[in-house]
Amino acid sequence: MTNKPEKNNNVVWHRATVNRQRRQKLNGHPSVNLWFTGLSGSGKSTLAHAVEERLHQMGCRTFVFDGDNVRHGLCGDLSFSREDRSENIRRIGEMIGLFLEAGVISLSAFISPLREDRQRVRQIIGPENFIEIHCHCPLEVCEGRDVKGLYKKARQGKIKNYTGISAPYEEPLNPDLKVNTSEQSLDECVELILALLAEKGMSCS
């Protein structure tokens, strides 16, 4: 089990003169986090990168946190136990907080199966900065895609605690946006997300 280290009372946060507001003004847009959640194979990463491409073309400063990529570095020391998966999400939340301060629009593609873990990220970065996007896709469709061959291994018992097979996925109760990636095209989903950002006044100048 990986535990969050206790805070050292001798460590003091340094207040910079170049703050989030000034960085946002320089970037020409507010910083925010788009949190993509859904089963493996639901299209989270594909959608996150497609949205980033559009935002980049619009002149926004962006960065995608992809579940697999993060596991190669920042969270490379973590297993897939319940405790370590929660720690994985906590670390991402803290990292997103830094990107918000940098004035960057971050897009996070993580299964993040448990509501309490997603709620923890909300608490870390502030609910006003957290836009939850549920990539809804039936299990049978995700399993049929099986892009990484992981569902097959899970069915064979080679992977334990696999979300959707031997571990639960708790759908968001009130996501900011729910897209059906098995019925809606990639372009349709992207447009819905861009429309949501525009409604929230988060267009890039």
Q: What is the DSSP letter of 163?
A: B
- Beta-carbon contacts of residue 169 (< 8 Å; ≥ 6 apart): 39, 111, 113, 163
Q: How many CA atoms lie less than 13 Å away from 194 in the CB half-sphere?
A: 19
Asked if 40 is an active-site residue, the reply is no
Q: Which of 112, 182, 203, 205 is catalytic?
A: 112
177/168 Cα distance (integer angstroms) = 21
DSSP characters over 72-93 = TTTTTT--SSHHHHHHHHHHHH
What is the residue whose two structure tokens read 């870390």?
124
- Beta-carbon contacts of residue 92 (< 8 Å; ≥ 6 apart): 65, 70, 74, 75, 108, 110, 121
Question: Mind telling me the catalytic residues?
Answer: 112
